[in-house]
Chain A
């Protein structure tokens, strides 16, 4: 029969300390992550609001709703804000800094590019550029509430 080696008092202490550190670190990381997520969420919301601020509310909701019930299309509808910002070559920081007028101009230029490249979608017969259509969907989701879409 092998006799179990008694634990060294110091070992015992070390383990508790290790556990303590591990737990603390875990707790810290968890808290930090939540904070980061919260910060990211706030930032995304801010970006989305800035992007849709240049749209006419009721028109964009109508168009966005119409797009969301289209049976089939090739429009990318997840992470719209990030996709549109990428298309417009804008970071969160630069989006935050530009004026609405500048943002409108950039959207206008991107819409021209969309039409030129054939990145277009048929919404109840109206032919629209991808980027403007994505923004309308974003507006519909924000104004109508996420529970609806």
Chain B
């Protein structure tokens, strides 16, 4: 059953078994697992069925530190949550992402890939993917339209090809609405914002383990009500989880679960360097369909990326990364000629073959204008983008880079002074990177340049910023809207907010679903892991509540 909370009588108290706050991929996945059971589930969604500016405004927040996408643009408050603008990239985390690394402080999850594997398999279905074996090239090649997919012959102690499957993408609200609507034991309340978690009267003041009774909920027209539940799950994303816990200061003065000042800390994203490098092919017309086309095979688009071999990560003491290619049919001769002319002028000379260089400048005027515009205004797109002709051969490719961020306690979410429409403090993100992250990015670019030279594919251009040994992030660095951390998982309550069951250490009936619990971020997009972890949590909750 789905209701609009604005139509409810105010000041009511609802009783339920399981309260799930947030109807994004995590919340919907958990709720759906309970469909048809005897357990009563209430699923709250702060937004409505469609985009609403007032609800969306609740996502506002300040950002300091490294440039990140605005918090009210990177997240969505409507049924289905942020999956409503999800691009669909899916891949499980690597085995080593879960393991402790001696050279990588605060690494390791309290669960292993094997613990999560059965849930990953189920998550591929929920995300509407074709196969649970992502890197099984034989499978993809055996499918109609897949025979031309081949991996690059990189040195597999340096760079590996990692295949992503691109979900349709699954819009969780739209795709699973019917299941939730038809389930008699599930109540979905739209336009219902959880303001804070409420401490249970059962909680002993002296006990180190508390209980919560549920949540205080409000609509934007200020109809407030309470939902009491035997267990509560916050499934509100990598930013809002910290905010809701910090706002719940009746549970603990510093915020629910914040006995050790860990809530909001270790915030991570995947730093993204769009089109940071340029590969120029040795042979015009080079074509690598696996890496270029997002080819649709078995009803799923597959896409090859380049990631570090475990040996490289270990020897260089770096994190994970992911490089992907965007082929281009345009030449960069004009840019090279511009560089040559400038270099010669600096030497007080005129460039040799000046006529040829001027011809290149003229021919590639749009590319030069495009590059100048992007540099000047520090943007990724410009109105002067070159329109290539589809029949032209590929001349090269732009290289995008995503890196794994090393866990950093100073990269954190805190409550800010400005208030939202409910009079509650907005969130503030201070996104900080570690020197190691710079080393990861630099190694990624040098390695891909070396490997493309070694396989004689072409030559790679690396921006001058990367000659520095100290962090010198180019202005185009940004976030990937992959908000992770803030309520990290650890066995020790002094090192993490939740335990391996995603239960808040200090609260016996409060759970966190979603990427807020990730202790490390790997290089893969988080959604598939969010869904897998949610399925694991649903299994656990079913045992607890039955």
A66 — which chain B residues lie within 8 A by C-beta?
A: 343
The answer, among B347, B450, B455, for a CB contact under 8 Å with A127, is B450
Write 11 A-B pairs (CB below 8 A) sorted by A numbering: A58-B352, A62-B336, A69-B347, A108-B456, A111-B456, A112-B454, A116-B454, A125-B461, A125-B463, A127-B453, A128-B453
A108-149: which residues lie under 8 A (CB-CB) from chain B? 108, 111-112, 114-116, 118, 120, 122, 124-129, 144
Interface centre among A66, A112, A126 (most CB of B within 10 A): A126
| B356 x A125 contact (CB < 8 A) | no
User: Which chain B residue shows the least CB distance to A61?
Assistant: B352
Answer whether A129 and B453 are a contact pair too, CB < 8 Å, given A61-B352, A66-B343. Answer: yes
Q: How far is the CB of B311 from chain A (nearest CB, A)?
A: 15
Q: How far is the CB of A60 from chain B (nearest CB, A)?
A: 11
A contact residues, range: 20 to 34
| A115 x B450 contact (CB < 8 A) | yes
Decide if B339 is an interface residue (CB 8 Å cutoff).
Answer: yes
| A127 x B353 contact (CB < 8 A) | no
| A62 x B340 contact (CB < 8 A) | yes
Q: How far is the CB of A65 from chain B (nearest CB, A)?
A: 7
Q: A62-B352, A66-B343, A144-B352 are in contact. List 7 more A-B contacts (CB 8 A).
A: A69-B347, A108-B456, A111-B453, A116-B450, A124-B343, A127-B450, A128-B459
A118 — which chain B residues lie within 8 A by C-beta?
A: 450
* Chain B residues packing against A (C-beta within 8 Å): 155, 336, 339-340, 343, 347, 352-353, 356, 446, 449-451, 453-456, 459-464, 467
CA distance A144 to B351 in the complex (A): 12
| Secondary structure call for the B interface | helix
* Chain A residues packing against B (C-beta within 8 Å): 58, 61-62, 65-66, 69, 108, 111-112, 114-116, 118, 120, 122, 124-129, 144
Interface centre among B336, B339, B456, B459 (most CB of A within 10 A): B459
B343 — which chain A residues lie within 8 A by C-beta?
A: 65-66, 69, 124
| A120 x B449 contact (CB < 8 A) | yes
B463 — which chain A residues lie within 8 A by C-beta?
A: 125
A129 — which chain B residues lie within 8 A by C-beta?
A: 453
A124 — which chain B residues lie within 8 A by C-beta?
A: 339, 343
Q: How far is the CB of B457 from chain A (nearest CB, A)?
A: 10
| A127 x B449 contact (CB < 8 A) | yes
User: Which chain B residue shows the least CB distance to A140?
Assistant: B352
| B340 x A125 contact (CB < 8 A) | no
CA distance A136 to B391 in the complex (A): 33
Answer whether A126 and B459 are a contact pair too, CB < 8 Å, given A65-B343, A69-B343. Answer: yes
| B459 x A127 contact (CB < 8 A) | yes
A62 — which chain B residues lie within 8 A by C-beta?
A: 336, 340, 352
CA distance A129 to B455 in the complex (A): 12
| B464 x A125 contact (CB < 8 A) | yes
| B453 x A126 contact (CB < 8 A) | no
Q: How far is the CB of A145 from chain B (nearest CB, A)?
A: 11
B460 — which chain A residues lie within 8 A by C-beta?
A: 126-127
Q: How far is the CB of B395 from chain A (nearest CB, A)?
A: 15
| B456 x A112 contact (CB < 8 A) | yes
| A116 x B456 contact (CB < 8 A) | no
The answer, among A58, A108, A126, for a CB contact under 8 Å with B353, is A58
